[in-house]
Structure formats: structure tokens, C-alpha cells
Structure 1
Amino acid sequence: MVPQQIREVSKLRRPFVVAGAVVGALLSGWYLYDSFGRSGISADPIWTRFVNVALIMFVAIYLANLLRRGVEALKRR
């Protein structure tokens, strides 16, 4: 059995994830506000709103993580 290496956790991880979650929450709020404002045939069904909010949150946190990796790469130079 090969011993596992202990990976160092970046100190920038938490701030970037929190910032991504805040941006995702703001975008989700804007999307829901806009979505509930529409009526008639262009209104999204509730399941579509749920999926879109989940996707917005995922993408915002994922992009914040990618940005963190870029910042860390620039700091190492």
C-alpha cells in the first residue's frame, strides 16, 4: 500500500469560494426576480428555475476556483 501524500490547502481557497457563492447568489436572485416578473407564455416552469439557479451557483463557484488557481500561478512566478 502506497502512503498518500498530504496536500497543502491553499489559504486563498475559502475567500474565493465564498466570493463565488456570493456572486452566484446575487446572479440567482437577479434571475429569479426577472423570471417571476415575466408572465404568460415566456415564464419558466418552477423546475427550470430550480435547475437554472443550481447551474448558476455551480458555475459561479467553479469560475471562482479557476480564478484562484490563476492567481496562485501568478503569485508563484
Structure 2
Amino acid sequence: MLHINPKMLARLEELEADLLDRRARAEVENWIGEIEGIDLTLSFLRAKKDETLRRARRPVVDLGIPRPRASCEEPRA
């Protein structure tokens, strides 16, 4: 699944504004199929934007640097 970088939220806002303009034009022209397509795209875009905002609010977890385990080949008694 594609994750959006939070730095790109401004671009998502631009895309949403453009889609809203296109939807208004489609309503004026009575392009029913186009309106449905734009509505679907808007719902996906808004869901992706909400997901990105949720992910940006989560704290970063430091997992550290992996280190090799102690010798695994020690003979067992």
C-alpha cells in the first residue's frame, strides 16, 4: 500500500481543489458519469489524506541498530 509523505499534504490539497473545480464544471455541464468518477476519486484522496495525517501524529519508535547475537555455535552440554 502506498504511503504518502506528510510533506506532500499541500499537494493533496491542490489536487482536491482541482477536483472540486472539475466537479463544479461537470455539474454545470450535466456530466453525470464524470461527477460520479470525481466523487469516487475525492473519497479516495480524502481517505489517503486522513491516513497520512494519522500517521504523521504517531510517535516515531526507535528500534535501535541490530547487533549479532552471541555465538550460536557454542557446544551444548
Fold conserved (TM > 0.5)? no
TM-score (norm 2): 0.42
Greater radius of gyration (CA) = 2
TM-score (norm 1): 0.42
More helix by percentage: 1
